[in-house]
Every structure is written in structure tokens, then in C-alpha cells.
Amino acid sequence: MLYFAYGSNLHHFQMKRRCKDSVFLKKINLKDFRLTFRSKYRAADIEPKRNSIVPGGLFEISKSDEKKLDIYEDFPILYKKYYFFYYGKKVMTYTMTKKTPFRFPTERYLNVIKRGYKDCKLNLDFLNKALSR
């Protein structure tokens, strides 16, 4: 199955440790969404926003990888699944169930995401814009 990562799972080493079968395919943009950070965990989330994009990584994952991600993302309590189509193929990602106000992420977590942006060759401007709220 296809999975879209936009937060700490962009970090290739961490993603491989978490999901042993995962294969990074390429970077893609999720249209009409924007990146933000929220909840007591100060974690990454996406929310609908017209004419905005969230850059991320497209991964191929197995059913057992999905189960591991469900546990890590605290599905269905903290995150719920969101599906979209990319060139006719169904892609799964996670979005928070409660849309709490913006909370700046911890430095440690942010560094993992920055490393992931490097791994996936994403433009850091999008991350910086999300942090400048």
C-alpha cells in the first residue's frame, strides 16, 4: 500500500526502523493542505487549506508496517487515517482527530523532521513557513 509521510517518518533511518518493509518511492506534494504542529505532543499535522501544499515522501509499506504505524501514531485516538488519490492510486496518511491550537515542536522532534526533509530532498521553506505561525 502507499503511505504519505510529512513529519518525522520522512527520516529514512527512523522509518526503516519503524517499518522494516517500507520503501521510499519519491517526493510528492499533497495539494490543498498545509502543515502545522499541535497537541500536547507538539507533533506534525495537516489541515485543509486551499491553494497550499504539503511536501512529503511517498512510501510503499506492507500490512504489518501499517499496523506498526497505527500503534506509533496512536490510531484512532490521536490520529485518524486520511486517504487521497495520487495519479489514480490510493494513498494513506494520518491527520489528527482533534484540531488543537498551534504548538511549536520540540527541538529534538524538529531535527528529525529536518533530517527527513534532507533524506527526501524536500524544500525546507515549507517547514519554516509552518513554524512561523
Domain limits at 38? 2-127
Question: How confident is the model at residue 123, as a pLDDT?
Answer: 96
133 within a domain of the structure (yes/no): no
Whole-Å CA distances, 15 to 12, 19, 61: 5, 6, 10
Q: Which of 9, 14, 15, 16 is nearest to 46 (CA)?
A: 9
132 within a domain of the structure (yes/no): no
Per-residue pLDDT of the chain (133 residues; tens, 9 = 90+): 999 999 999 999 999 999 999 999 999 999 999 999 999 999 999 999 999 999 999 999 999 999 999 999 999 999 999 999 999 999 999 999 999 999 999 999 999 999 999 999 999 999 999 999 7
Question: How confident is the model at residue 115, as a pLDDT?
Answer: 98
Beta strand 89-96 with 2-5 is parallel
31 within a domain of the structure (yes/no): yes
Question: How confident is the model at residue 55, as a pLDDT?
Answer: 98
Ranges assigned E (strand) in 41-125? 43-60, 79-86, 89-96
11 within a domain of the structure (yes/no): yes
Domain of residue 104, CATH code? 3.10.490.10
18 within a domain of the structure (yes/no): yes
Question: How confident is the model at residue 72, as a pLDDT?
Answer: 96
Does pTM surpass 0.95? yes
Question: How confident is the model at residue 133, as a pLDDT?
Answer: 75
Question: How confident is the model at residue 23, as a pLDDT?
Answer: 98
> In the chain, how many domains are there?
1
66 within a domain of the structure (yes/no): yes
